[in-house]
């Protein structure tokens, strides 16, 4: 979905993207779909309903204000955080909802899909409504990623450590040697220039001034991160931001999330269950604090989001994404002279940039203005996309963001440094 589709293409995209969501949930039992393992993560059933609520609220009700909603209480139950729409069921209590049953949520999805199909069939999807459908599809894709990351956390919270599905063949390959790619700096432009879909937080395109910098040819691997651990990385305060040190102490971090030392060997939990650590994979499930400490230990730093974007802007959006079906980061040898590898896919890459408005930023009017703008504080930007991000969801200007202590996403890092 790189170019804004016409109404027909949009209807088709709607069907495809909605089906992807259902395929992701297909292997799961109703029991799997109801459990919430922490306030930050939502049950799969909630994701299935909330993405539907988004279309019902912002498309169907906008086009047909008199139409009766599927269920009068869903407006509150499945509202995530839109104060302009009204009150919300409390986030930490999303796991209380044994009802509606999963089957009822599936009926809800079908119901709204039918209403949307009717709007398309009736030619009622004008430009404004098309924009909302397109936004809803990107929203659905974000929740496809969240379904897998939230589910991974839920499965891991169960001492039986169940798998989401059987593991795929082992991804072949070794990580290439880390090399530095130099950039001359100077004035540059970042942000989305229009002409196709982007979120409001990617706009407007604007000039920035960069100092010369170097960026790593590939993300940091688990093997490299293991060296940091073995060098006492988690015990050396001088490597850490003050808040990061406090978080690491309070939560007793000793390794990335989902790592576990058993009988002297490191094991790692994946969506295919627990297995031995593989040293050539990009490291994932580290917080910004751990990424930052690792970079300092490496006598390097994290890139800014502008540095990342000027490098990535020249590269195609391709890599180990949701469509690869691996659902886990994989090694990708980077030839010595090529541009940086794995910019897209495998792991989201923490940048040093606080998530903030671009100069001249204007949030959308009304409830949809709450989509991105109100979170512009206490979060850091991640770039690139992960092994569970749909390909059509990404572009070089895409800004993901999470609080610095978050670890349950496929979040890794790529080093940068001053020449």
Of residues 309-348, those binding its own copies (CB under 8 A) = none
Q: Binding to its own copies by residue 157, rule CB under 8 A?
A: yes
Of residues 252-291, those binding its own copies (CB under 8 A) = 288-289
Q: Contacting its own copies (CB under 8 A), which of 3, 26, 66, 187?
A: 187
Residue 146 Cβ vs its own copies, minimum distance, rounded to whole Å: 17
Which is closer to its own copies, CB of 104 or CB of 315? 104
Strands 206-210 and 186-190: antiparallel
Which is closer to its own copies, CB of 74 or CB of 344? 74
| Residues near its own copies (CB under 8 A), total | 66
3-state helix, strand, coil in the chain (%, to 5): 40, 15, 50
Q: With contact defined as beta carbons under 8 Å apart, do 147 and 23 qualify?
A: no
Residue 49 Cβ vs its own copies, minimum distance, rounded to whole Å: 12
Comparing CA positions, the residue from 61, 44, 43, 65 lying closest to residue 53 is 61
Q: Contacting its own copies (CB under 8 A), which of 26, 31, 123, 265?
A: 31
Distance between CA atoms of 51 and 49, rounded to whole angstroms? Answer: 6
Distance between CA atoms of 229 and 106, rounded to whole angstroms? Answer: 45
Of residues 220-259, those binding its own copies (CB under 8 A) = 237-238, 240-245
Tokens standing for residue 243: 């808040």
| Cβ within 8 Å of residue 390, ≥6 positions away | 17, 20, 141, 144, 145, 321, 322, 323
Of residues 106-145, those binding its own copies (CB under 8 A) = none
Which is closer to its own copies, CB of 208 or CB of 321? 208
Distance between CA atoms of 337 and 179, rounded to whole angstroms? Answer: 9
> Taking the CB of residue 261, how many other CB atoms lie within 10 A of it?
12
Of residues 349-368, those binding its own copies (CB under 8 A) = 352-354, 356-357, 359-360
| Cβ within 8 Å of residue 151, ≥6 positions away | 28, 32, 44, 164, 271
Of residues 60-99, those binding its own copies (CB under 8 A) = 73, 76-77, 81, 83-84, 89, 93, 95-99
Strand partners, 181: 215
Q: With contact defined as beta carbons under 8 Å apart, do 295 and 302 qualify?
A: yes
Tokens standing for residue 106: 């599936």
User: By rule CB under 8 A, what string of x and - marks binding of each residue 191-220 to its own copies?
Assistant: ---------------xxxxxx---------
Comparing CA positions, the residue from 354, 331, 340 lying closest to residue 310 is 340
Residue 169 Cβ vs its own copies, minimum distance, rounded to whole Å: 25
Residue 71 Cβ vs its own copies, minimum distance, rounded to whole Å: 9
Q: Binding to its own copies by residue 30, rule CB under 8 A?
A: yes
Q: Contacting its own copies (CB under 8 A), which of 102, 130, 215, 277?
A: 102
Comparing CA positions, the residue from 86, 18, 72, 78 lying closest to residue 50 is 78
Residue 281 Cβ vs its own copies, minimum distance, rounded to whole Å: 26
Q: Binding to its own copies by residue 374, rule CB under 8 A?
A: yes
Q: Binding to its own copies by residue 100, rule CB under 8 A?
A: yes
Chain residues in the site for its own copies (CB under 8 A): 29-35, 37, 73, 76-77, 81, 83-84, 89, 93, 95-102, 154, 157-160, 162, 187, 206-211, 237-238, 240-245, 288-289, 292, 301, 304, 352-354, 356-357, 359-360, 369-370, 374-378, 404, 418
């Amino acid at each position: 979905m790189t170019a804004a589709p016409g109404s027909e293409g949009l209807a088709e995209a709607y069907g495809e993207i909605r089906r992807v969501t259902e395929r992701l949930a297909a292997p799961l039992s109703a029991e799997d779909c109801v459990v919430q393992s922490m306030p930050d993560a939502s049950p799969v059933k909630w994701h299935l309903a909330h993405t539907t609520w988004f279309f019902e609220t912002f498309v169907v009700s906008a086009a047909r204000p008199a139409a009766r909603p599927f269920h009068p209480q869903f407006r509150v139950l499945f509202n995530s955080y839109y104060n302009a729409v009204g009150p919300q069921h409390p986030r930490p209590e999303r796991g209380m909802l044994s009802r509606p049953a999963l089957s009822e949520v599936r009926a809800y999805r079908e119901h709204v899909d039918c209403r949307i199909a009717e709007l398309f069939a009736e030619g009622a999807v004008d430009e404004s409504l098309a924009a909302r459908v397109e936004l809803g599809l990107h929203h659905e894709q974000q929740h496809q990623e969240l379904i897998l990351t939230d589910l991974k956390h839920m499965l891991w919270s169960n001492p039986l450590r169940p798998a989401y599905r059987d593991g795929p063949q082992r991804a072949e390959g070794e990580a290439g040697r880390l090399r530095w790619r130099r950039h001359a700096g100077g004035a540059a432009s970042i942000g989305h220039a229009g002409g196709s879909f982007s979120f409001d937080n990617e706009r407007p395109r604007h000039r920035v001034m960069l100092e010369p910098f170097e960026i790593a040819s590939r993300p940091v691997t688990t093997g490299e991160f293991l060296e940091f651990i073995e060098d006492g990385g988690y015990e050396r305060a001088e490597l850490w931001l003050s808040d990061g040190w406090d978080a690491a102490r309070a939560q007793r971090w000793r390794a990335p999330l989902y790592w576990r030392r058993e009988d002297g060997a490191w094991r790692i939990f994946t969506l295919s269950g627990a297995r031995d650590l593989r040293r050539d994979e990009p490291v994932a499930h580290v917080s910004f604090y751990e990424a930052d400490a690792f970079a300092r230990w490496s006598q390097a730093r994290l890139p800014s989001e502008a540095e990342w974007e000027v490098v990535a802007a020249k590269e195609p959006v391709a890599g180990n994404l949701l469509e690869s079906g691996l659902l886990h980061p994989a090694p990708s040898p980077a030839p010595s002279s090529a541009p940086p590898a794995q910019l897209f896919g495998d792991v989201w890459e923490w940048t040093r940039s606080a998530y903030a408005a671009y100069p001249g930023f204007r949030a959308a009017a009304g409830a949809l203005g709450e989509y991105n703008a109100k979170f512009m504080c206490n979060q850091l930007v991640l770039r690139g996309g992960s092994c569970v991000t749909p390909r059509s969801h990404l572009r070089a200007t895409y800004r993901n963001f999470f609080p610095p202590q978050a670890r349950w996403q496929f979040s890794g890092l790529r080093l940068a440094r001053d020449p």
